[in-house]
Structure 1
Amino acid sequence: MRLLAVFCAILVGGASALYSASSGVVDLTQSNFQKEVINSDAIWVVEFFAPWCGHCQALVPEYQKAAQALKGVVKVGAVNADEHKSLGGQYGVRGFPTIKIFGLDKNKPEDYNGQRSAQGIVDNAMKAVKEKVNAQLSGRKSGGGGGGGSGSADDVIELTDSNFEKLVLKSDDLWLVEFFAPWCGHCKNLAPHWQKAATELKGKIKLGALDATVHTVMAGKYGVQGYPTIKFFNKGDVEDYDGGRTASDIVAWANDKASANVPPPEVIQVTDDASLKEACKEHPICIIAVLPHILDCQSKCRKNYISMMTRLGDKYKQKMWGWVWSEAMAQIDLEQALDIGGFGYPALAALNAKKMQFALLKGSFSEDGINEFLRDISYGRGRTSPVRGAQLPAVARIEPWDGKDGALPQEEDIDLSDIDLDDLDDVGKDEL
């Protein structure tokens, strides 16, 4: 029994990582990423992977080959994003494997979209090296993520007892507020990171600072007893900040909160080209449902389907997908491009408009069935097919659904008052 347990542990351990210590690929985690990658002067190639991902497993020999070739020139690392989800979320990882190059500006890594080969990875890494050398030759500095200082103090909003309620409590914005004391050493250490985080989060979450030794009313109201104390405010609701004290920690924590507080996406009817393009070209993936004709599924039935999609949209809102629906046979070109209709209605597909690839729901059109399908999509699993024509099809302009039941068209009334029935009798006799 003990031998079996050890054997299972070995299997689990081997499945959780793809690269050995001798591979040349550095194991990166939430705890060492800032120090190893962001605070480093080195250029890094970083793969975000999931152990179960078939494409990730297929990449291993080429990625190791690239790491060996770049040894001493560019560092190569890998993040198990299935385990370190917040790190993957911080860098917008939506599928596996995702490769990013942390070059001249560490705060804005470049996506690697080349061939998944050692040569392709090496070529792009050397391009980043050349860009950094040329930048340094011209006097520009690379953007590291060290002790901060790259943020602007102007992006941190000064809060007081008099403006706190108006700016924070009555605001629709999300806020992170630091309660500090001017003499506090930890507050001074936090200051450059706080500024940098405020700059990176600008337009998403507001960062403020309140001198708790002067503005004691608000500090007392929220039980501030030590410095610095950081709290998160969302329309009057407040909770303690429990993240790290570096800029990247603050940004990652705030991004998680921002994603969690995003309203569920609206499920839009496809009524013209603009409605489809907005959902599919402005989002990484769009979910397209084709619902039965209104005569086959009246208003209550259709609204139930749309409500179900809205609930699923809320569940997957952090993915920032677009959501649309169409009535069966209303957009024939769209259905044909996605092979919809062969299994009847309702039907559903997930489309990546950038790659012009789609996956078709083959299971049950139910909340559980669609959820299972979307979960596979979110992890980069599932079988995809190319869109017919390799482009979004033209969309017919139609009137949006009015929310009412469908009705058969009225038959035209025929006025029989002018017809002479005697003449009809004569016609019948002549035919006989």
Structure 2
Amino acid sequence: MKPLVCGVLLGCSLFVGVRGFYSSSDDVVELNPSNFNREVIQSDSLWLIEFYAPWCGHCQKLTPDWKKAASALKGIVKVGAVDADQHKSLGSQYGVSGFPTIKIFGGNKHKPEQYQGGRSSQAIVDGAMNALRALVRERLDGKSGSSGYSKQGGGDGKKDVVELTDDNFDKTVLQSDDVWLVEFFAPWCGHCKNLEPEWAAAASAVKEQTKGKVRLGAVDATVHQAVSSRYGIRGFPTIKIFRKGEEPEDYQGGRSRGDIIERAMDLFSDNAPAPELLEILNEDVLKTTCEDSQLCIIGILPHILDTGAAGRNNYLEVMIKMADKYKKKMWGWLWAEAGSQMELEASLGIGGFGYPAMAAINTRKMKFALLKGSFSDTGIHEFLRELSVGRGSTASLAGGAMPKIHSVEPWDGKDGQLPAEEEYDLSDVELDDDVYDKIEL
């Protein structure tokens, strides 16, 4: 059974001001960035965790069953809940894009599994027990399930936290076009040991989400004293931010993985160029752009004969400006000329709104939303802002699949030209007398 979710491009009832689904009297543990590592990551217990938003109707419906399941599983399996609307960093860290999302934190706490079962208390308990049996079997087989990175002792996460030394620091960090967050640590430092699993988990998430454009490294300052002395390292752990051609900046954020990821994503968006606005020339352009993005924003612009090059460039400039404004979302941006992709227009119902038109597509859910306001900075901003918080009118793509895309020639940047009219020479055409009689009449 696929979970019902409320989120981007999926409708959800709005409950304004609702907070606190769970209280201390419940058996559901309220989790947040401050206690998540201690309660969940460092625990040997199996955890079922619900990521919810207070305004989500499906979440409200789930609450009594979640409480009932937590009571039934008390002492056997831990049951928790995260207000992911309030603690966005935790939701982002674990890829939560809709509500409610339920994750199972088993042997490998850094790679939770998605819960796919039913939403009744009985189904939740059954799912938890199945996961528990699987965990016990792993332990019987001698699998610890741990994949945490240990800078001092090695580990599977070593590939994501880059070990930096006096010899490789300048080439790896200072000469890199990427942004670096570097931890200077001492093996005997207790605070460093507490930071270790957070730094490792953040390194993996940041590397994936930024496609390697932001990296996390670590320097053992007790061994590599030259580079540590260069940057005046006096206490441990010390974290510094390095950007090419700039003086290093002291990291001032929190020490949880969520805080680290959030700061890294801010650095990424600050330095990243706006996503490229591509013309839909063939199926590969649409597929690659939309499948790699949570949302794909598509503008259908008037025919070149209706606007000329100047008018079309004005529309494209509006889209480029909005792409830059929302670049932190890492959405895909595309455009097509009206009439060039008729199946796409038909599946989105764009024809009824005229041109220019805009749609936002979530290809994972095969849902879309249409811009109802003006094709302007203000109109598009309002449209995208509503979508980014999970609101707005949506519909399903016809047939539950993307429409056929035709291969077309790219726009040459010039004004359009009317097709040349063919001239017909009738001097050699012989007409019989009856035809001449009719012409004279």
Do they superpose with TM above 0.5? yes
Rounded to whole Å, the distance in 2 between the matches of 1:382 and 1:247 is: 32
> What does 1:114-193 correspond to in 2, within 5 Å?
114-143=117-146, 150-151=155-156, 155-160=161-166, 163-180=168-185, 186-187=191-192
The structure-2 alpha-carbon separation of the partners of 1:385 and 1:121, relative to structure 1 and needing over 3 Å to count, comes to: farther
**Per-residue CA shift, 1:360-418, capped at 9, x if unaligned?**
222232222222222222222223212111111111111111122222222235679x6
Instruction: Check conservation: 2:148, 2:201, Cα contact below 8 A.
Output: no
- The answer on whether the counterparts of 2:297 and 2:361 sit within 8 Å (CA) in structure 1 is yes
Whole-angstrom distance in 1 between the partners of 2:190 and 2:77? 36
> Deviation string for 1:297-347 (max 9, x for gaps)?
222222222222223223333333222111112111111111111111122
Q: Does 1:103 align with 2:106?
A: yes
Matched, 1:368 2:378: yes
1:226 matched residue in structure 2: 235
* Aligned-pair CA distance for 1:139: 0.9
CA contact (8 A) 2:102 2:115 kept: yes
Q: In the alignment, what sits opposite 2:61?
A: 58
Q: Within the alignment, does 1:291 sit opposite 2:301 as a pair?
A: yes
CA distance, structure 2, for counterparts of residue 112 and residue 52 of structure 1: 22
Matches within 5 A, 1:60-75: 60-75=63-78
Q: Report deviation, 1:141.
A: 0.8
Structure 1 residue 102: deviation in Å?
1.4
TM-score (norm: length of structure 1): 0.83
Q: Does 1:27 align with 2:42?
A: no
1:193-342 matches, cutoff 5 A: 194=199, 198=203, 201=206, 204=212, 205-210=214-219, 219=228, 222-237=231-246, 238-245=248-255, 250-251=260-261, 253-342=263-352
Amino acid at match of 2:321: R
Q: Distance in 1 between matches of 2:397 and 2:438?
A: 64
Shift of 1:63: 2.8
In structure 2, what residue type is equivalent to 1:304?
N
Q: Structure 2 CA distance, aligned partners of 1:64 and 1:185?
A: 37
In structure 1, the residue matched to 2:9 is: none
In structure 1, give the amino acid aligned to 2:217.
G
Q: 1:429–1:72: structure 2 CA closer, same or farther, 3 Å change rule?
A: closer
RMSD after superposition = 3.5
Q: Unmatched 5+ residue regions in structure 2?
A: 1-14, 430-434
- 5+ residue gaps, structure 1, are 1-11, 421-425
Identify which range, 65-74 or 290-299, moves more after superposition: 65-74
- Contact 2:46 2:77 (8 Å CA) reproduced: yes
Give the aligned partner of residue 90 of structure 2.
Answer: 87
Checking the alignment, whether the CA contact within 8 Å between 2:358 and 2:370 is kept in structure 1 is: yes
Identical amino acids, percent of aligned pairs: 55
SS of residue matched to 2:299:
strand
Distance, in Å, in 2 between the alignment partners of 1:378 and 1:120 is 31
Question: Which amino acid in structure 1 is aligned with residue 332 of structure 2?
Answer: G
* Aligned residue identity for 1:316: Y
Measure how far apart 1:255 and its partner are. 4.4
- The 1:70/1:325 distance shift into structure 2, 3 A limit, reads farther
Query: What is the one-letter code of the residue matched to 2:171?
Result: K
Q: Deviations over 1:144-193 (max 9, x none)?
A: 76988645557433232x65443322211221223456776655665676
Partner of residue 12, structure 2: none
- Distance in structure 2 (CA, Å) of the matches to 1:166 and 1:368: 45
Matched-pair contact (CA < 8 Å) for 2:360–2:369: yes
Q: 1:99 to 1:409 in 2, by over 3 A?
A: same
Match of residue 38, structure 1, among 37, 41, 55: 41
Conservation of the 8 A alpha-carbon contact between 2:148 and 2:197: no
Say how many residue pairs are matched.
Answer: 416
